[in-house]
Chain A
Amino acid sequence: MSEQAVLEVSGLEVTYSTNRGDVRAVQGLDLSVRRGEILGVAGESGSGKSTLAVALLRLLKPPGKVTAGSAIFHPKGRSPVDLLKVEGEELRVLRWSALSYLPQGSQSSLNPVMRVEDQFRDVILEHAPQRKEALSELIHRLLAQVGLEPRVTRMHPHELSGGMKQRVLMAICVALEPDLVIADEPTTALDVTIQRVILQSLADLRDDFGVTLMVISHDMGVHAQLADRVAVMYEGRLVEVGDVHQVFKDPRHEYTRQLIESIPRVGRRAS
Chain B
Amino acid sequence: MTTEAPPVVAVDRPQDSAPTTGVRAWLSRHPLAAYAIRRFGLYLVELWGALTIAFFFFRLMPGDPIQTLIQTLQQNYIYNQQASAEIIARYQHEFGLDGNFFSQYLKYMEKLVLHGDLGPSLINYPTPAQDVILRALPWTIGLLGISAVLAWVFGIIIGAVAGWRRGKLGSSVATNLSIALSHVPYFFIALILVYVFAYSLGMLPARSAYDSRIEPGLSPDFIGSVLKYGLLPGLSIVIIGTFSWILSTRMLMVPVLGEDYLVYAEAKGLKGWRILTRYALRNCYLPQITAFGISLGFIFNGNVLVEQLFNYPGLGTTLVTAIQQLDFNTILGVTNIAIFSVLTAVLILDLLLPLLDPRVKYWK
* Chain A residues close to B by CB (< 8 Å): 57, 59, 91-97, 100-101, 103, 107-114, 122-123, 126-127, 156, 158
Contacts and interface: CB of A to CB of B under 8 A. Distances in A.
Contacts of A123: 268-270
Contacts of B266: 59
A57 B267 contact: yes
Contact of B358 (A95, A122, A126, A158): A158
Nearest to A172: B268
B198 to A, nearest CB: 45
Interface string B1-34: 0000000011100000000000000000000000
A156 B264 CA distance: 16
Interface in B275-322: 278-279, 282-283, 286
Nearest to B285: A113
B269 A109 contact: no
Interface residues of B, number: 24
Given A103-B260, A103-B264, 20 more contacts: A91-B269, A95-B267, A96-B267, A101-B264, A103-B263, A107-B260, A108-B260, A110-B261, A112-B9, A112-B283, A113-B358, A122-B268, A123-B268, A123-B270, A126-B268, A126-B269, A126-B274, A127-B269, A158-B9, A158-B11
Nearest to A98: B269
Closest 8 CB pairs of A and B: A95-B269, A109-B264, A107-B260, A101-B267, A156-B358, A123-B268, A111-B261, A92-B269
Contacts of A113: 282-283, 286, 357-359
Nearest to A101: B267
B271 interface: yes
Nearest to B266: A59
16 contacts: A101-B264, A101-B267, A103-B264, A107-B260, A109-B263, A111-B265, A111-B279, A111-B283, A113-B286, A114-B278, A122-B274, A126-B269, A126-B270, A126-B274, A156-B359, A158-B9
A113 B283 CA distance: 7
A95 B266 CA distance: 9
Interface in B244-272: 259-261, 263-271
B261 A108 contact: yes
Contacts, number: 74
B261 A112 contact: yes
Contacts of B283: 111-113
B110 to A, nearest CB: 46
B261 to A, nearest CB: 5
Nearest to A115: B358
Contacts of A94: 269
Contacts of B263: 59, 103, 109
B135 to A, nearest CB: 43
B186 to A, nearest CB: 33
Contacts of B358: 112-113, 156, 158
A87 to B, nearest CB: 13
Nearest to A104: B260
Contacts of B269: 91-97, 123, 126-127
A101 B9 CA distance: 27
A100 B267 contact: yes
B113 to A, nearest CB: 39
A122 B265 CA distance: 10
A123 B260 CA distance: 16
Given A107-B260, A114-B278, A126 B271 contact: yes
Contacts of A122: 268, 270, 274, 278
Contacts of B270: 92, 122-123, 126
A138 to B, nearest CB: 16
Given A113-B286, A156-B359, A59 B267 contact: yes
A124 B262 CA distance: 17
